[in-house]
């Protein structure tokens, strides 16, 4: 009996030591990435279905020096999309819509441009509709206006489609804006009311909100930007604009409840979730790493669904490793905090993965100069590749130093899992690049022709 007691004591002591080591490692990871006296992050880690860490780091409000805590409320930005998609799935389960319905069944005045655009096309970003956040005048002419959701349509509904619906994937906030209007039309209430009544309240997510600018939201974090002169208030964004694509807010504590509710099938059963987590298939048979409101990918062999988000003053990431019953959520109140990198570093520690080590090589000036230039992504945004002595630089809006590991492949000195591959060399310059950000996604861009 004494032997049994000693064995149990040793096992418990071992687990306690492992937990202490894990918490210390997470603290070190976060402290390497943020200024504890500046804007910071709230983090939650669930492992094997159990909460193992929930904490705040940094300051929620610099004016009052209020610390970030696990119950601090952050703007979720595009993590909102999984809640919008869930509301659509609930309406489908009730027989109030079908995913292959044309959107004009619910928005009869929306122009279809002689094409058929379905609810599925909106959910998985294959509609071809122009994303209003990609418009040249979005920040200068749209982002600060107090527009009703229906009025925002005027900025993009008559623009030509970028491609035949279902033939390409292009991340699109307009699609989720339209889903919000469809929810309102069918549910007979505002998008905000629907999300509160159908999702937040039943799941006990009592610190989750539509983040109206003027509303008094207890424990709301202020959003900041980092400038050469120091921290500043983030650029103003009227929260009527992100709407069903990005206007919800929550805490890491409430997102733990959300994660548990998905595993427990409290709102969506396994069959419905499987549909949401299935990578989309394009008309030509190609697949993309997106389902309905979730990115669908893997990390070092671990199946993953999740999403990131970014709006002025906030940067967020939520990763759910389905087979491991593990979740990592990182919510930041400054856009410049690299939440994806923090998530990856925590995941590598939890999975006992070795650090990634690259060995840089030396390239000639002529070889480096082939990559210098401006490159345009499919959504119209751009990045600038520059030159700094024996390395390249990238601005997007983070600034990275890129070190070569071959003549065409570079990695970021600040993040070994951030790589850039150059291709299509013609007339002494590269004309294309592929940006790989592990755990997040892959982007392709082409050189801007002068």
In DSSP notation, 42-107 reads EEEEEETTEEEEEEEESEEETTTTEEP-TT-BEE-GGGHHHHHHHHHHHHHHTTS--TTSBGGGT-
- CA 447 to each of CA 350, 373, 381, 429: distance values in angstroms, whole numbers, following the listed order: 39, 7, 12, 9
pLDDT at position 14 is 46
Q: Which residue has the tokens 């894990």?
A: 22
Helix, strand or coil, per DSSP, at residue 386: strand
Binning the chain into helix, strand and coil, the percentages to the nearest 5 are 30, 30, 40
Among residues 99, 110, 88, which one has the least CA distance to residue 161?
A: 110
Mean pLDDT of 319-332: 97
Residue 185 belongs to what H/E stretch? helix 173-187
- How far apart are alpha carbons 331 and 255 in whole angstroms? 10
User: Is 36 within 8 Å of 57 (Cβ atoms)?
Assistant: yes
Give the model's pLDDT for residue 397: 63
Domains of the chain: 74-350 (3.40.710.10), 365-447 (2.40.128)
| Residue pair 54/41 in contact by the 8 Å Cβ criterion | no
**Most confidently modeled of 17-21, 100-104, 412-416?**
100-104
CA atoms of 30 and 342, how far apart (whole Å): 7
Q: What is the pLDDT of residues 341-361, one digit of tens each?
A: 999 999 999 999 998 999 999
pLDDT at 44: 98
Q: Is the pLDDT of residue 196 over 60?
A: yes
Beta-strand pair 382-388/287-288 = unpaired
Q: How far apart are CA 195 and CA 84, in angstroms?
A: 8
- Which residue has tokens 């925590």? 346
Cβ contacts of 355 within 8 Å, gap of 6 or more: 348, 416
Which tens digits make up the pLDDT trace of 97-135? 999 999 999 999 999 999 999 999 999 999 999 999 999
The band of 439, judged by pLDDT with boundaries at 50, 70 and 90, is confident
Say yes or no to pLDDT of 378 above 90.
no
What DSSP line would sit under 1-25, residue for residue? -HHHHHHHHHHHHHHHHHHHHHHHH
């Amino acid at each position: 009996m004494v032997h049994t007691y000693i064995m149990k004591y040793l096992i418990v002591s071992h687990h306690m030591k492992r937990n202490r080591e894990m918490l210390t490692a997470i603290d070190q990871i976060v402290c390497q990435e943020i200024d504890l006296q500046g804007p910071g992050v709230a983090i939650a880690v669930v492992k094997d279905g159990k909460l193992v860490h929930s904490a705040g780091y940094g300051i929620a409000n610099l004016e009052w020096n209020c610390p970030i805590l696990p119950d601090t409320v952050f703007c979720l930005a595009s993590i909102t999309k999984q809640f919008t998609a869930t509301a659509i799935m609930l309406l489908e389960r009730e027989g109030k819509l079908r995913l292959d319905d044309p959107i004009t069944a619910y928005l009869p005045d929306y122009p279809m441009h002689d094409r058929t655009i379905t609810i599925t096309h909106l959910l998985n970003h294959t509609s071809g509709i122009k994303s209003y956040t990609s418009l040249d005048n979005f920040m200068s002419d749209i982002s600060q206006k107090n527009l009703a959701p229906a009025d925002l349509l005027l900025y993009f509904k008559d623009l030509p489609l970028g491609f035949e619906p279902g033939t390409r994937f292009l991340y699109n906030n307009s699609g989720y804006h339209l889903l919000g209007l469809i929810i309102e039309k069918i549910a007979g209430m505002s998008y905000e009311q629907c999300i509160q009544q159908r999702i937040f309240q039943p799941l006990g997510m009592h610190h989750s909100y539509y983040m109206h600018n003027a509303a008094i939201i207890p424990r709301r974090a202020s959003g900041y930007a980092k400038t050469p002169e120091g921290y500043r208030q983030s650029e103003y964004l009227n929260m009527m604009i992100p709407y069903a694509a990005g206007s919800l807010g929550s805490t890491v504590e409430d997102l733990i409840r959300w994660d548990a509710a998905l595993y427990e099938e409290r709102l969506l059963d396994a069959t419905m979730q499987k549909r949401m987590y299935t990578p989309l298939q394009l008309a030509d048979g190609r697949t993309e790493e997106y389902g309905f409101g979730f990115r669908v990918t893997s990390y070092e062999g671990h199946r993953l669904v999740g999403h990131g988000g970014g709006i002025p003053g906030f940067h967020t990431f939520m990763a759910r490793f389905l087979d491991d019953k593990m979740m990592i959520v990182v919510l930041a109140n400054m856009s410049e905090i690299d939440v994806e990198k923090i998530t990856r570093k925590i995941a590598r520690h939890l999975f006992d993965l070795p650090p990634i080590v690259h060995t840089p090589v030396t390239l000639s000036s002529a070889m480096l100069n082939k990559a210098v230039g401006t490159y345009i992504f499919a959504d119209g945004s751009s990045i600038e590749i520059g030159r700094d002595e024996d390395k390249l630089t990238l601005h997007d809006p983070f600034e990275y130093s890129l070190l070569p590991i071959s003549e065409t492949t570079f990695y970021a000195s600040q993040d070994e899992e951030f790589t850039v591959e150059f291709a299509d060399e013609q007339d002494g310059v590269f004309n294309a690049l592929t940006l790989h950000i592990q755990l997040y996604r892959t982007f392709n861009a082409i050189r801007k022709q002068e």
